Amino acid sequence: MEGVWAVRERLPIVELLKGLAIACVLGSFLAPLSGKTSTSAKASPPSIRVRLLQTVGFLCLFLAASAWLALVDKYVPEPYLDEVFHIPQAQTYCESRFFDWDDKITTPPGLYLLSVVYHKLWLLPQCTPSSLRFINLLATLLTAFAASQCRHLIEIRMAERDGKPGPQGISWYAYHTGLNVSLFPIIFFFSGLYYTDVVSTLVVLVAYRNHLLRIGTQRPSLANDLCTVMLGIAALFMRQTNVFWVVVYMGGLEAVHVLRSVQSDSQPSQQKLKLHDPPLNQSGAEDWLACLLTIAITALCNPAKVLRQVWPHIAILGLFACFVAWNGGVVLGDKSNHIATIHLAQMLYIWPLFAFFSAPLLLPSIISAAFHPVRYLQSLLFISYGRSSSRWSSLLNLSSTLLAILLSLEVVKYNTIIHPFTLADNRHYMFYVFRYTILRSPSLRLSLVAAYTFCRWLAWDTLSRGRSSRPIAEESPQADLNNTNGNEDAGKNPGSHPAEGVNIMMSTNPPLTCTSTSTALLWLLTTALSLITAPLVEPRYFILPWVFYRLLVPPWSSSSSSSSSSAATAVWGGGSGTSASGSGKTGGSGRASWWEEVDRTVDRRLMLETVWFLVVNAVTMYVFLFKPFYWRGEDGELLDGGRVQRFMW
């Protein structure tokens, strides 16, 4: 009850009105400009209903984050852990002493500069811990906004790539995805503390949104090129490792985009080598190799056009190289404890982390693996169906899987790095993960390769739109044609018509297109570069890899798997992309109400994901606030000055 009263005291009517105003603004301006439109009809403006629902979602997020911040201010009023460095440094900047620097801080001063601007704009007299923490609360709301826009633009670009009509408005899937990204436990937890991670994620998402708009135009303008450079610099001012995402990932995506557009503009007789970039759910090991080779060759054949598109990213890389040369290293301070090291085991740890946090998204694959294990393995290895059903392709895919397992065993045996910070600080959950698994025994450490492999399969299968749960017939062009006709027939069914105003509200069914092979490979490469150079295993380092993975996960359609997995269908019945006929009550006109239509088009996995994140957040917040402890020596004497210690990510 004391916590409830603390929330009520620190959320007066003025704060509630402020949150309502912010939610209204975000809800009203959620749908972004998508560059060139891929729809023949002009999108209708959002109705009052959609703006109301969007506003309610952002308001709920604001209230949850505000309650968390109020509790932190109540029970942890003084700077805690890394805040001991960040808050005094920000307060130093607020006093206009910009050349005073704490050598223990390793990250650039972007957050501190932003804090100065925020306090100047709102005429706040002091940079208190509470006011500084509030910046991350606002960044959490804006992260939901930016993530929704990014997912919406991804759906538009995928539709353009496949020659399909794009969504007229922001889809429920995109909107819900944005909210869940902000509820991601590692992000939401630090929305109540003054850390760099939340604002860093927001800035990278803004840069990603700019990238998605750039590839929607025939040729970016010089102003947009300069804007890209500025956003890249802003991302680097937050965290140095952001260079991989704004240079390698976004720059690589733009290079592939320009190569694809060059081929589409060429005459058939001029296309000596076609860019091989199939959807991820139709690609095997040989497709990955062909994709990499054709990208390299076509880039060498069109260097001028590629450089014209990606020069802003090259400029960002050049500026970063100049910084490293000037600074004598990547990190700003405490260089002795942050030495870049090849740590390949990071690419094994990422998959259980994804499986834990994204468990609701992985459930269809888990169900498929549980009820149809043989077919599940066959689908993952492309042994039984698809374009890669030849004996050679099956052998290649099986060999690549076995090779990955052998390499994983070698990495565990020879490249498991235990950073001193991991074992020296029992306030972090990772301390206990290592203590009870990796450090338990060498045999247990090696046996974990099976868990790494299975979690990787689940995550990859989910990213490829659950190919393990799709019937063989769906892989043929005729099946695609039948599926298209089926959708058209569903649209002609009077009982399946959306309620009047639903299309005006939001695009309820985003295009069920899959991530391309090149995008998945670029994500994998960027994730590897950002992780394997870090000797310390820190959950916060996995935020951006998870966020970009989450944005690429397509909506799940229960109708596509109903013929192959009755168990999955029983669990998921409905969901994104299902027809509306025969479900729910309809009005006298034979049309479902707008709320029933919304209910039918919501991806059930996302609802479970929201609940799962709320549960994880509630547990970790409770443990942080109400389960403190003290460090004691062997003789029982209090250590660290008797300060309270708390568990956290």
Mind listing the pLDDT tens digit for each residue in 353-365?
999 999 999 998 8
Q: pLDDT at residue 502 above 70?
A: no
> How long is the chain?
649
What is the phi-psi region of residue 471: left when phi exceeds 0, alpha when psi lies from -120 to 50, beta otherwise? beta
Range scoring the smallest mean pLDDT among 120-124, 134-138, 183-187: 120-124
The reported pLDDT for the residue numbered 337 is: 73
Task: Supply 592's token pair.
Answer: 């479902």
CA dihedral 631, 633, 637, 643 (to 10 degrees): -20
Cα-flanking dihedrals φ and ψ of residue 288, to 5°?
A: -60, -45
Cα-flanking dihedrals φ and ψ of residue 497, to 5°?
A: -65, 140
Question: How does the average pLDDT of the chain come out, rounded?
Answer: 81
The reported pLDDT for the residue numbered 10 is: 64
The reported pLDDT for the residue numbered 603 is: 82
How deeply is 417 buried, as exposed, middle or buried, from its count of CB atoms within 10 A (0-12, 13-18, 19+)?
middle
Sorted by sequence, the CB contacts under 8 Å of residue 530 that are 6+ apart come out as: 241, 244, 245, 541, 544, 545
**Cβ proximity of 602 and 174 under 8 Å:** no
| Greater model confidence, 635 or 105 | 105
Tokens 């890389």: give the residue. 317
The reported pLDDT for the residue numbered 162 is: 77
The reported pLDDT for the residue numbered 510 is: 55
Give the range with max mean pLDDT: 192-206, 271-285, 453-467. Answer: 192-206
Q: What is the 3-state secondary structure (H, E, C) of 180-224?
A: HHHHCHHHHHHHHCCCCHHHHHHHHHHHHHHHHHHCCCCCCCHHH
Banded model confidence at residue 569, pLDDT cuts 50, 70, 90: very low
The reported pLDDT for the residue numbered 572 is: 34
- The amino acid present at 294, given as its one-letter code, is T
Task: Supply 542's token pair.
Answer: 């996995």
The reported pLDDT for the residue numbered 265 is: 61
Q: Rounded mean pLDDT of 105-122?
A: 94
Closest CA to 554 of 611, 503, 516, 506: 516
The reported pLDDT for the residue numbered 570 is: 34
Q: Rounded mean pLDDT of 128-133?
A: 94
Banded model confidence at residue 45, pLDDT cuts 50, 70, 90: low
Beta bridge partners of 516: 279
d(CA 38, CA 163): 8
Range scoring the smallest mean pLDDT among 162-166, 215-219, 576-580: 576-580
Q: pLDDT at residue 596 above 70?
A: no
| Greater model confidence, 305 or 567 | 305
Evaluated on CA atoms 575, 581, 586, 592, the torsion sign reads positive
Beta bridge partners of 171: 507
Q: pLDDT at residue 176 above 60?
A: yes
Banded model confidence at residue 285, pLDDT cuts 50, 70, 90: confident
- The amino acid present at 629, given as its one-letter code, is F
Q: pLDDT at residue 33 above 50?
A: no
d(CA 437, CA 445): 7
Q: pLDDT at residue 540 above 50?
A: yes
Q: Rounded mean pLDDT of 213-237?
A: 92
The reported pLDDT for the residue numbered 375 is: 76
Q: pLDDT at residue 380 above 60?
A: yes
Give the containing element (helix H, strand E) for 487.
helix 477-492
CA dihedral 370, 371, 375, 378 (to 10 degrees): 0
Q: Rounded mean pLDDT of 32-39?
A: 43
Range scoring the smallest mean pLDDT among 248-262, 374-388, 444-458: 374-388
Furthest-apart CA pair in the chain: how many Å?
A: 83
Banded model confidence at residue 474, pLDDT cuts 50, 70, 90: very low
Banded model confidence at residue 473, pLDDT cuts 50, 70, 90: very low
The reported pLDDT for the residue numbered 388 is: 43
Sorted by sequence, the CB contacts under 8 Å of residue 245 that are 6+ apart come out as: 204, 207, 208, 235, 526, 530, 544, 548
d(CA 360, CA 470): 19
Q: pLDDT at residue 194 above 80?
A: yes
Q: pLDDT at residue 455 above 80?
A: yes
Banded model confidence at residue 592, pLDDT cuts 50, 70, 90: low
Q: Rounded mean pLDDT of 370-386?
A: 68
Tokens 């970790």: give the residue. 620
The reported pLDDT for the residue numbered 376 is: 75
The reported pLDDT for the residue numbered 40 is: 40
Q: Rounded mean pLDDT of 554-580?
A: 43
Secondary structure of residue 428 in the 3-state scheme:
strand
Q: Rounded mean pLDDT of 69-80?
A: 94
Q: pLDDT at residue 546 above 70?
A: yes
| Greater model confidence, 527 or 467 | 527
Give the range with max mean pLDDT: 165-174, 349-358, 583-592. Answer: 349-358
Neighbours of 304 (CB within 10 A): 7
The reported pLDDT for the residue numbered 469 is: 44
CA distances, 227 to each of 152, 200, 258 (Å): 21, 17, 19
pLDDT in tens, 421-450: 888 889 999 999 999 999 999 999 999 999
d(CA 471, CA 562): 9
Task: Supply 465's token pair.
Answer: 């739109």
Predicted TM-score (pTM) of this structure: 0.86
Q: Rounded mean pLDDT of 200-220?
A: 92
| Greater model confidence, 170 or 117 | 117
Q: What share of the chain in percent tops pLDDT 90?
A: 53
CA atoms within 13 A on the CB side of 500: 4
The reported pLDDT for the residue numbered 479 is: 34
